[in-house]
Amino acid sequence: MLEAVAAAGVFVNPTLGFDREALASMPAPPPGIAAALKRIGLDFETAQTARLQVLQRAQTYGIRLVTGVDAGAGPAKRHGIVSLALAALTEGGFSIADAVASATTVAAQACGLAQMTGRLEPGLAADILLVDGTLERDITALQRPVAVLIRGNPLTPPPTDPRGSRGMLSE
């Protein structure tokens, strides 16, 4: 199956990124679903680990991943959690550079916009996120924005987490 996806040249969006605090505060699933999950030994963490393993295999086949989060699909999928999706990729063994590329360069390619945006290069439209930290070593730096430039113009104030604390990268 992964060979066919790779051969087709399609991009895959695994819709990672969950607000774990919101997930923990959600009610338990209905009894029938809870029983089925228990029977197959599946919980959120196990499912997340399995998804990341499939994504690692997908990468070995050359399948191009783009980052998206299904924002607004539920409390654990609120807007502004792209940084959590990128962190999940790194938890799954992806390099920080590959994770960030999935939301920038590769996403621009998937949308047919690679000649216009997706990377910092003269002549291209670029938005820049300045973070508190060294992104090359710490993916969570994305959760600490210092400034955002939209086509060179500062966005004031920097993005904030919808719950009030600074720091979630928006989509």
What mean pLDDT is reported for the chain? 86
Cα–Cα distance for residue pair 25/28, rounded to 1 Å: 9
Query: What secondary structure, in 3-state letters, does 92-136 show?
Result: CCCCHHHHHHHHCHHHHHHCCCCCCCCCCCCCCCCEEEEECCCCC
pTM, rounded to two decimals: 0.80
170: which residues sit within 8 A by CB, 6+ positions away? 79, 80, 82, 159
Using pLDDT thresholds of 50, 70 and 90, give the confidence band for residue 160.
low
Residue 6, number of CB atoms within 10 A of its CB: 17
R_g (Cα) of the chain, nearest Å = 17
pLDDT at 103: 95
Using pLDDT thresholds of 50, 70 and 90, give the confidence band for residue 157.
low
Using pLDDT thresholds of 50, 70 and 90, give the confidence band for residue 158.
low
> Over the stretch 15-59, which tens digit does the pLDDT of each residue have?
888 888 888 888 887 888 888 888 888 887 888 888 889 888 998
Cα–Cα distance for residue pair 43/12, rounded to 1 Å: 23
pLDDT at 165: 45
